[in-house]
């Protein structure tokens, strides 16, 4: 047992990736089986049926449960097999400076602007026609899944969507990517920048969207630096929650106008807005860094 608690970074990474693979398969099977039982629908028909808007709540349930199993369990396992407090190992430390909450809120807003500009940039990158057709098909499937999963007719639908699409993924994914994977990569490479970039690439790739790749990668980098500077997972969770939550609330506010929904899903921002947002994000991250440096110094005095 001592060897388990004293695993070297390569062994921890191998165990983590192995558990992730098992978790993804188990998450899909368990979540789809539960929803299939609830709806009395054959398991083989689940993927087609669950994409229909009338089953939005079931799609949200399946997505949240699959996320908890696929990403939550590997993080819990690694936290258990590493020395120290389990919650601390996953990044659950107190927020040392509450001014940081305001900084993170601003980072979330400028992050949305940067995301829109990077979406525009991605569309301008020349790619082979066959790859473009594949990417567009993948994007169409992703949009269809998101729209069906966020189909909302009432305030209760909105509350449920926020829980399943914003709150649960924000907590589970940040613990997985920043609280666990980034930490392992930091131990492996000894270079914070490399660990943050690699984690951001994996974070974006796991969403299977070419046109959203740069946007999610940029979000992942910002989340990575927030965690690295603040040493608490709560602040990345807050930004992730705001990013997803704003999208859900916006979709709810225009739910009765299909043209506006399509425009929201497809529209991007001019690239120059991205440059402005990037400058502001750089400034805010530095502010966060020095804010937490000051907090640590004050605590030691």
With a CB cutoff of 8 Å and minimum separation 6, the contacts of 206 are none
Range in 56-60, 94-98, 181-185, 293-297 with the lowest mean pLDDT: 293-297
Q: What is the mean pLDDT of the chain?
A: 87
- Which residue bears the tokens 């996953």? 90
Say if CB 283 and CB 223 are below 8 A apart. Answer: no
**Residue 249, number of CB atoms within 10 A of its CB:** 14
- pLDDT reported for residue 2: 43
Return d(Cα 263, Cα 261) in angstroms, integer: 5
- pLDDT reported for residue 77: 87
Range in 2-6, 18-22, 275-279, 285-289 with the lowest mean pLDDT: 2-6
* Tens-digit pLDDT profile for residues 37-47: 888 888 777 77
- pLDDT reported for residue 143: 78
Q: Which residue in 162, 174, 147, 143 sits closest to 71, CA to CA?
A: 174
Return d(Cα 198, Cα 220) in angstroms, integer: 9
With a CB cutoff of 8 Å and minimum separation 6, the contacts of 129 are none
- pLDDT reported for residue 203: 96
Say if CB 58 and CB 96 are below 8 A apart. Answer: no
pLDDT category at 81 given cuts 50, 70, 90 is: confident
pLDDT category at 57 given cuts 50, 70, 90 is: confident
Percentage of residues of the chain with pLDDT beyond 90: 53
pLDDT category at 300 given cuts 50, 70, 90 is: very low
* For residue 257, pLDDT beyond 80: no
Say if CB 187 and CB 82 are below 8 A apart. Answer: no
Strands (E), the chain: none
With a CB cutoff of 8 Å and minimum separation 6, the contacts of 209 are 138, 139, 142, 216
Q: What are phi and psi of 84, to 5 degrees?
A: 105, -175
DSSP 84: S
Average pLDDT over residues 117-144: 87
* Tens-digit pLDDT profile for residues 214-249: 999 999 999 999 999 999 999 999 999 999 999 999
């Amino acid at each position: 047992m001592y060897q388990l608690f004293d695993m070297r970074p390569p062994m921890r990474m191998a165990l983590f990736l192995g558990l992730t693979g098992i978790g993804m398969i188990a998450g899909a099977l368990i979540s789809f089986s539960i929803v299939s039982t609830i709806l009395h629908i054959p398991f083989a028909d689940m993927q087609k049926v669950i994409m229909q808007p009338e089953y939005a709540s079931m799609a949200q349930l399946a997505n949240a449960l699959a996320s908890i199993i696929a990403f939550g369990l590997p993080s819990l396992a690694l936290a258990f097999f590493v020395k120290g407090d389990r919650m601390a190992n996953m990044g659950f430390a107190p927020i040392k400076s509450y001014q940081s909450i305001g900084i993170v809120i601003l980072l979330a807003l400028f992050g949305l602007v940067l995301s829109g500009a990077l979406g525009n940039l991605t569309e301008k990158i020349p790619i082979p026609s066959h790859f473009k057709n594949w990417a567009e098909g993948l994007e169409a499937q992703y949009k269809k899944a998101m729209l069906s999963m966020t189909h909302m007719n009432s305030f209760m639908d909105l509350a449920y969507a926020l829980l399943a699409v914003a709150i649960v993924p924000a907590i589970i994914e940040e613990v997985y990517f920043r609280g666990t994977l980034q930490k392992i990569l930091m131990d492996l490479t000894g270079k914070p920048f490399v660990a943050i970039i690699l984690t951001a690439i994996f974070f974006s790739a796991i969403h299977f969207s070419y046109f959203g790749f740069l946007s999610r990668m940029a979000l992942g980098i910002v989340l990575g630096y927030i965690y690295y500077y603040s040493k608490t997972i709560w602040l990345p969770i807050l930004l992730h929650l705001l990013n997803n939550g704003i999208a859900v609330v916006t979709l709810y506010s225009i739910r009765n106008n299909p043209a506006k929904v399509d425009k929201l899903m497809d529209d991007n921002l001019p690239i120059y807005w991205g440059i402005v947002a990037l400058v502001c994000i750089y400034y805010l991250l530095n502010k966060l860094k020095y804010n937490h440096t000051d907090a640590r110094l004050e605590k030691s005095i």
